[in-house]
Amino acid sequence: MSRRVPFFHHDIGAPELKKIEEVFAGPILTTGETVREFESQFANYLGVNHALGVTSCTGAMHMSLLAMDIGPGDEVITTPMTFIATATAIIESGATPVFVDVEPETGNIDAKRIEEAVTAKTRAILPVHLYGLMCDMKAIRAIADKHGLKIIEDAAHCVEGSRDGIKPGMVSETACFSFYATKNLTCGEGGAVVTNDAGLAEKLRLLRLHGMSKTAADRHKDGYSHWDMVSMGWKYNMDNIHAAILLPQLDRIDGATKRREYLADKYESLLNDIEGVRFPASCERTVHARHLFTIWVDSAIRDSVIANLKSNGVEVMVNYRAIHPLSYFAETLKYKAGDFPVAEKIGAETISIPFYPSMPDEDIDAVANLLKTALQAQKTGLHG
């Protein structure tokens, strides 16, 4: 008898629908008051000066690079243990991603290896807070300052996290967030960029909407008035409908974080008793945002464990296989398997197991039990 355990289910419903109704009752569907309300609450939650609602984290990272005049001929240091968008955003800006291997215990970029990768062309570091665990931002900021580099955080996994008292956006030039379908805060598709730098915020505001000096809502408010195009811009503005979906979730975020912590602790205590399963470590003085729960199993059996779990109704994913050997990066950036052994090892061992705040406690037990069975099956299989 197998049950189906979904990988993820969102937690949105009546409060979000009510907020959408309010937007529908007004005249502005695109970027307006609801977006501004979200931006102010999001900035407040993170303790940063400026937040801008955008359509994706990818767009937020692309614009951040453009706002700092990073482009063709420049290099940006990042991690190969991430979603491809981290690297493609760098390529969109015209700059070249330069990968640095990761820490074996966490999968985060290894701050100790960053300086080896700095060249005369390096302009920025783009760390990713993998699974919601903040990178060592104190160390990364010190390296950036020493070499005159900017920092753009890929905080797609980390709205709620902190380390050494540092939250995303606090010590970087910008931090970029995703509200994609499975992220901790979601509106289907969406994102945000935050900064403490008023000049950067102004540049980003222009970059996210065609370089126009006024939004549609501004133009509506004033009656008709002429606007100017003051710079090249893109089309990355968040609309009021998506902001309406995010606002009620922001009100509930502390409760969701507590639930994520509880479920992660439960998984960890059950998995500690299963031979052959390891999981990434946390760090001291850290609040983990607990976006994904990933485990590591021997790479020789990883894919059969996935197949076994799948056949027992457990939905799993792999976040991530190292991205540098993917065809496009290998061909265009000339990377190959073997270049970043730690990221490759983690990528070959990772399984992301079901994890979301409304996940029933029993499903955590069920996944742990099925995992135990799957590993035992492998053991007999390997030796039989």
Ligand X SMILES: *Cc1c(COP(=O)(O)O)cnc(C)c1O
Work out whether 316 is an interface residue with ligand X (CB under 6 A).
no
- Beta bridge partners, 354, equal none
Which of 19, 150, 167, 183 is labelled catalytic? Answer: 183
How far is it, in rounded angstroms, from Cα 364 to Cα 272?
A: 14
Beta bridge partners of 122: 75
Residue from 8, 38, 42, 83 binding ligand X (CB under 6 A): 83
Among 107, 161, 169, 191, binds ligand X (CB under 6 A): 191
Q: Contact letters (x/-) for ligand X, 136-165, by CB under 6 A?
A: ------------------x-xx--------
Q: At residue 80, what is the residue type?
A: P
CB 299 within 8 A of CB 348: yes
| Shortest spacing between CB 36 and ligand X, in angstroms | 20
- Which one, 178 or 249, has the nearer CB to ligand X? 178
Q: Which is nearer to ligand X, 171 or 185 (CB)?
A: 185
Binding ligand X (rule: CB under 6 A), the pick from 131, 180, 236, 356 is 180
57 interacts with ligand X by CB under 6 A: yes
Q: Which two tokens stand for residue 205?
A: 């505001």
When the beta carbons of 83 and 329 are compared against ligand X, the nearer one is: 83
Beta bridge pairs of residue 152: 174
Residues 109 to 138 in contact with ligand X, rule: CB under 6 A: 128
**Locus of tokens 């990761």:** 102
178 binds ligand X (CB under 6 A): yes
Question: In terms of CB distance, is 31 or 178 closer to ligand X?
Answer: 178
x/- string (CB under 6 A) for ligand X, residues 244-283?
A: ----------------------------------------
Check: CB of residue 243 under 8 Å from CB of residue 34: yes
Three-state DSSP state, 97: strand
Q: Is 150 a catalytic residue?
A: no
Hey, how many other C-beta atoms are within 10 angstroms of the C-beta on 41? 17
For residue 31, the number of C-alpha atoms closer than 13 Å in the C-beta half-sphere is: 18
Q: Which candidate, 356, 343, 311, places its Cα nearest to that of 132?
A: 356
Question: Residue ranges of the alpha helices (H) in 79-175?
Answer: 85-93, 111-117, 137-147
C-beta separation of 247 from 36 below 8 A: no
Q: Which stretch binds ligand X (CB under 6 A): 82-90, 134-142, 167-175, 203-211?
A: 82-90
Q: Which is nearer to ligand X, 86 or 312 (CB)?
A: 86
Binding site for ligand X (CB under 6 A): 56-58, 82-83, 85-86, 128, 154, 156-157, 178, 180, 191
Positions marked active-site: 183
